[in-house]
Amino acid sequence: MEIKDMAVADLTEADAITELDRLAVAISHHNHMYHRNDAPEISDAAFDALMRRNMDIEAAFPHLIRLDSPSLTVGTAPSTQFGKYRHHVPMLSLANAFDNADAMDFDQRVKRFLNLPAEQDIPYSVEPKIDGLSISLRYEYGKLVAGITRGDGVEGEDVTANIRTISDIPEQLTQCDFAVAEIRGEIFMTKADFFALNENQQQTNSKVFANPRNAAAGSLRQKDPTITAARALRFFAYAAGEMSAWNVTSHHDYLMLLETWGFVINPLSALVANIADALKYYDHIAAIRADLDYDIDGVVYKVDQLDYQNRLGQVSRSPRWAIAHKFPAEKAQTHILGIDIQVGRTGALTPVARLQPVTVGGVVVSNATLHNEDYITDKDIRIGDQVQIQRAGDVIPQVLGVDVEARDGNETVFIYPDHCPSCGSPAIRPEGEAVRRCTGQLSCPAQLLERLKHFVSRDAFDIEGLGARIIEELHQEGMLNEPADIFHLNRYRDTLAARDGWGELSVNNLFSAIEQRRNIPLERLIYGLGIRQIGQATSLLLARHFGSLEQLIATAQAANDVAINDHKAPNQAPNQAWQTLTGIDQIGDSVAHDIVRFLSDDHNQQAINRLLEVVHPIPPEAVASDSPVAGKTVVFTGTLLQMSRAEAKAKAELLGAKVAGSVSAKTDYVVIGADAGSKARKAEALGVTILDEERWLALTQS
C-alpha cells in the first residue's frame, strides 16, 4: 500500500515526514490554482480532505510540524480585513536631515541634550535607509509569533501569515531564549525581482506596480499568503521593539546579535567615530547608490551607545538618537497646463499646478504645489510655462522655477482669486500672513469636505474602507455632512449595498470598521476635529492634560471672553482658564487662540455634542502612575548641572508629570537650577514647593 493511502495510526515517523512533505506541496499547488489562477483542479471536498489529513498527521507527530506547514499559512478562509494589533512599544519614524548642516545640527542637539561638550565625538552606527515598508516581528522564546505592519506607529495590521512566507524572516531564532524579542526592519523587493514581477503582471494582464516599494507593499498585503509566498520579498533587520532582556550595550553589537539569531542585516552597516565620518559614509553610499540592487532614499545615523539612546528618548514620534540623512530630491522638466485653487479644511487657499504628466524617480507626477500666491508672483510662474519640478520621498511635488528662455508668448499670468472658488465667500489674507483664507467656515462645502476627510484620515479615526474618495461620494450623495453622520450610516444600509462595486460584504466590513472606532483614543478624537495648528503631538498633550473632551471644552469656553479681548478681559489680568491653556508646555498664545476659537464656535460645539453621543473617547493611559511625581505639574527654571533642561523635562514627562512653562497656583514643584530668576520668586510668593536639582533627582530616582 502506498503511504498516501495508509491510516494515520499506521504511519511510522519516516512515513509521516514523507507524507507531510507530499501534502505541503500538493496543498500549496491547489491553493495557488484556486486563489491565483481561478482554476481549481480538485473539488473543495477533496482539498479539505488533504488539509484534514495534514492536520491529523501533525496532531499525531507534533514535533514534525513544518515551518511552512499549510496549517499555519493556508486553509483558513482568506480574511477580508487584517486584524488590528497594538504595538507593545510604538514604532517610531525618523526625523530628516536634508543636508550636511542639518546632520551637524543633529549631532550638536544630541550633545546639548546629554550635556556633553560640543567638541566631543559621538560614535554613530550608520546604515542605508531602505525604501521599503517597516515591520515588527515578535518572537517569544525564539519562536515567531506575530508580524505586524507599522500602521500609524501605535497600531498596525497583523500580517503574520504573510510574513511567514518570507525566507529572510526566521521562524525560529538561533540561540535566543528571551521570553520576548521584537525585531524591526524593512521588507523590500530588489530591483531585479521588481522588474521580473512587473513583466509577469503585464503578461497576465494584472496590476503593474509603480516602483519596488509599492510592489513590496502590495505583495505583503495579500489576503492570500500563497500570493505573498510567490513574490520575492526580502528583509533587513535594524531595530528593536519590546525586549524582555537585553545583553548588548551598543547598536552595533545589537546588529551583530541579530546576525547570530539568524537575521540578515544590511552588509553596508558600519560604525563611525563621529559625525564627520558619518558624512563621509553618506558620500560613499550616495556614490554607489545606483549600483545597489535595492532602492534606498538616504542614510540613517544612530547614536551607537544604548545608554545614550535611552537618555535621549523620543520627541513626538521620532527618536532623538537617530536621523535620516536624505538624498537630494529627484528633479524633472515639464509644462504647467493650468492652476487650480484647493480649499483646505481650515479654509486656506492653496494653488496647485496641473502638469503635463512626467515620471520623477519612478512615480508619475501630474500635480505640484505652488504653496501660496507670493510663490507664484515671486517666481513669475505662468500657465503654459516650462518648469522644473522636484519630488522627495512622500513629500508633495514642488515647482522649483520657470525656464524663462522657453517662453513663446502664449503663457498667461494667473489671477489669484479673492473669493473662495468653492462657496464664493470673500477670501481674506490678513496682513503679515502668507495664506489667503475662505471666510465661509462650515457653510463652505470644500472646508466641510476637507474636515470630514481629515476626520477619517490615518492618524485620526482611520476607518478602513472610508477613504477620501468614498467620503467625497457619500457627502455628494447627501449621506455625510458632519463627523457624527459616519456613525449613523447604517440608516443607508440598502442604498450603500446597492452602490456600484459594493455589496453586502463590503457594507458589513465598513460597518464593522466603523463600530470598532466608536471607542476612540481621546488624542485621535482631538486631532480628528481638525483645529488649526493642532497636530498629533499637541493633541496628545491636550488629551493628557485634560483627560476628557468635556474638560478641554469647558476650559476653552472659560478662556473665550479673554481670548476675544486680546488675551485680557477688560481691566483684569488674563483669566485662570487662559493661563491653564497657555501654561501647558509648548502651547503658546497663538495655538491657544485657535483652540479657543474653534471650541467656542456654536456650530462646532453642536457638531461635537452630536459626535459625543455616538463615540466614546478613551483617555490616554497614565504614564508611570506609581511614580511620586505622576500627575504633578512641574516647572523647570535656571541652568541645571547634571542634565540639560530638555532631558530633565523629557524624564519628568516619562514619569507622568506635566511640565509647564510658567508658574501658577496649580504648579506642584518648581525645580531651580543656577541663576533662577523670576519664576523662583513667583513660586515663593505663591507658596509652591521649590526643589533644587539634587532634591528633584532624589525624588524622581526613588
Nearer to ligand IVH, 271 or 352 (CB): 271
Q: Which is nearer to ligand IVH, 61 or 254 (CB)?
A: 254
Cβ 554 vs Cβ 560: under 8 Å: no
For 54, the grid coordinates are 495534514
Closest distance between ligand IVH and the C-beta of residue 444, in Å? 35
Among residues 111, 129, 632, 649, the one annotated as catalytic is: 129
What is the arrangement of strands in the sheet containing 689-692, beginning at the earlier edge strand?
658-659, 633-637, 669-672, 689-692
Task: Report, in Å, the least distance between residue 92 CB and ligand IVH.
Answer: 4
DSSP lists the bridge partners of residue 100 as none
CA separation for the pair 327, 98 (Å, rounded): 7
Cα atoms in the 13 Å half-sphere on the side-chain side of 143: 3
Minimum distance between the CB of residue 185 and ligand IVH, rounded to whole angstroms? 8
Cell reading at 149: 505592519
Enumerate the β-bridge partners of residue 342.
350
**Residue numbers of the site for ligand IVH (CB under 6 A)?**
92-94, 127, 129-130, 134, 186, 238-239, 300, 319, 322, 324
Q: Which three cell numbers stand for residue 694?
A: 539634587
Minimum distance between the CB of residue 216 and ligand IVH, rounded to whole angstroms? 12
Q: Residue 458 CB, nearest distance to ligand IVH (Å)?
A: 14
Residue number with CB closer to ligand IVH (89 or 276)? 89
Cell of 23: 501534502
Q: What minimum distance in Å lies between the beta carbon of 284 and ligand IVH? A: 16
Q: CA 472 to CA 35: how far, in whole Å? A: 33
Q: Is the dihedral of CA 641, 642, 647, 651 positive or negative?
A: negative
Nearer to ligand IVH, 268 or 358 (CB): 268
Cα gap 56→62, rounded to integer Å? 10
- The nearest distance, CB 190 to ligand IVH, in angstroms, is 15
CA distance 65 to 297: 40
Angle at 287 between CA 281 and CA 291, to 5 degrees: 120
Residue 77 CB, nearest distance to ligand IVH (Å)?
A: 31
By beta-carbon proximity to ligand IVH, the closer residue of 107 and 186 is 186
Distance of CA 278 to the CA centre of its chain: 27
Give which of 154, 294, 277 is closest to 234, Cα–Cα.
294
Q: How far is CA 21 from CA 13, 41, 51, 609, 690, in A?
A: 12, 20, 13, 61, 72
Give CA–CA dist 682/217, Å, rounded: 56
User: CA 68, 71, 75, 81 torsion: positive or negative?
Assistant: negative
Give 239 or 446: the residue with its C-beta nearer to ligand IVH.
Answer: 239
Is the separation of the CB atoms in 175 and 235 below 8 Å? no
Residue whose CB is less far from ligand IVH, 251 or 593: 251
> Least distance from C-beta 94 to ligand IVH, angstroms?
4
CB nearer to ligand IVH: pick between 94 and 446: 94
Give the nearer residue to ligand IVH in terms of CB position, either 294 or 578: 294
Q: State which residue, 98 or 487, has the beta carbon closest to ligand IVH.
A: 98
Instruction: Tell which residue, 140, 237, 113, 147, has the closest CA to residue 184.
Output: 237
Grid cell 476627510 in the structure block, residue: 453
Closest CB to ligand IVH among 186 and 485?
A: 186
Instruction: Indicate the angle between helix axes 693-701 and 645-654, nearest 10 degrees.
Output: 30
Annotated catalytic, 129?
yes
Cβ count within 10 A of residue 518: 10
What burial class does residue 608 get, using C-beta atoms within 10 Å of its C-beta: 0-12 exposed, 13-18 middle, 19+ buried? buried
Backbone angles phi, psi at 581, to 5 degrees: -65, -50
526625523: which residue's cell?
A: 95
User: How far apart are CB 219 and ligand IVH at their closest, in Å?
Assistant: 17
Which residues are CB-neighbours of 565 under 8 A, at least 6 positions away? none
Q: What would you measure as the largest C-alpha separation in the chain, in angstroms?
A: 102
Q: How far is the CB of 321 from ligand IVH (least distance, A)?
A: 8
Residue number of the CB atom closest to ligand IVH = 134
Q: d(Cα 137, Cα 242) in Å, to the nearest integer?
A: 10
- SS3 call for 507: helix
Name the residues annotated as catalytic.
129
